[in-house]
Amino acid sequence: MRILIRIAGLVGCALACAQGRDLKDVEFARVDGVSLTLDGWLPEDGRVRGAVVLVHGGGWEAGDKRTYIGPWFATLTAAGIPWFTINYRVAPQYPHPAAVEDIEAAVRWVEAHAGEYHVDRRRVVLMGESAGGHLAALAALRGKVRVAGLVSFYGVHDIPEWKVQRGELPRNISLYLPGATEAMLVEASPVTYLKRGQPPMLLVHGKADTGVPWKQSERFCLAARRVEVACEMQLIDGAPHGVENWENELRFQVWKAPTVAWLRRVLRLK
């Protein structure tokens, strides 16, 4: 009953709180002739708020700013949280580090346009899922940009450990990291960059995920805490890979209220 009330509250707020401005196909960067664009939603009341940059998954080789993460749009809009969802270059045409560089470019663009969009440039959170969780974590931790927080849904945070967990590396890693050596796998792993002073993190993971085992998140969170980085984790019993798949069952939608609460706290939204 409590879960139903929470979700009903979000849905009800969607009717009352969704007065805002939509952005569509705004170019945030152009790299070697490739136009990178974003969509977004912003409240209309003119108040300055922190914002979330959303990073889709797709195994580093597929997807765009509107795929795989549909449930995030309505959830954040209902909560009155500004968001931007971005395109980035994908493998195999654009191997590592192209995608993470594009995410960093998006963060810089949001910071540069903070005044225009009433965004607090000091309060930008990266939020990604699956391969997008991996990429968002890399962008948040490797030090090229500074963000206020990281939310990773079932992201790959330690590629060598993922190889052990699966017994092999999946084909798409060879596209994202062609000719990968062990040193390259380490360099492309977010866990490598954990150190004191990094932004707080929220990790969300289904316990029935066979693509990215939930131990990826548990071990990453423990590693973060060892260096005094704030990390919270939400494990969802029975949930498979993919937040869109979670929409099929109410019991998997328990991520919504805690994720919104965490974002509101980190973004300092009242």
Per-residue pLDDT band for 8 (boundaries 50, 70, 90) equals very low
Question: pLDDT digit string (tens) for 156-210?
Answer: 999 999 999 999 999 999 999 999 999 999 999 999 999 999 999 999 999 999 9
Measured between alpha carbons, how far is 8 from 102 in angstroms, rounded to an integer? 36
What pLDDT score does 13 carry? Answer: 47
* Domain boundaries of the chain, sorted by first residue: 2-267
Residue 126 amino acid letter:
L
Q: What is the mean pLDDT of the chain?
A: 93
Per-residue pLDDT band for 270 (boundaries 50, 70, 90) equals confident
Measured between alpha carbons, how far is 128 from 77 in angstroms, rounded to an integer? 17
Residue 164 amino acid letter:
V
265: Cβ contacts below 8 Å, ≥ 6 apart:
none
Model pTM score:
0.93
Per-residue pLDDT band for 5 (boundaries 50, 70, 90) equals very low
CATH architecture, range 2-267: 3-Layer(aba) Sandwich (3.40)
For residues 186 and 192, is the Cβ–Cβ distance under 8 A? yes
What pLDDT score does 1 carry? Answer: 31
**DSSP-assigned states of every residue in 182-224:** HHHHHHT-GGGG--TTPPPEEEEEETT-SSS-THHHHHHHHHH
Q: What single DSSP character describes residue 39?
A: E
The phi and psi torsions of 36 (rounded to 5 degrees) equal -105, 125
The phi and psi torsions of 55 (rounded to 5 degrees) equal -125, 110
Asked whether the CA dihedral 137, 241, 218, 10 is positive or negative, the reply is positive
Question: pLDDT digit string (tens) for 113-138?
Answer: 999 999 999 999 999 999 999 999 99
128 alpha carbon, distance to own chain's centre: 2
Average pLDDT value for residue range 56-72: 98
What pLDDT score does 18 carry? Answer: 59
Average pLDDT value for residue range 39-67: 97
Q: What single DSSP character describes residue 239?
A: -
What pLDDT score does 7 carry? Answer: 38
H/E element, 9: helix 2-17
Does the pLDDT at position 263 exceed 80?
A: yes
User: What tokens were used for 180?
Assistant: 């990968």
H/E element, 22: strand 20-31
What pLDDT score does 14 carry? Answer: 40
Residue carrying the six token digits 């062609």: 178
H/E element, 121: strand 119-129
Per-residue pLDDT band for 12 (boundaries 50, 70, 90) equals very low
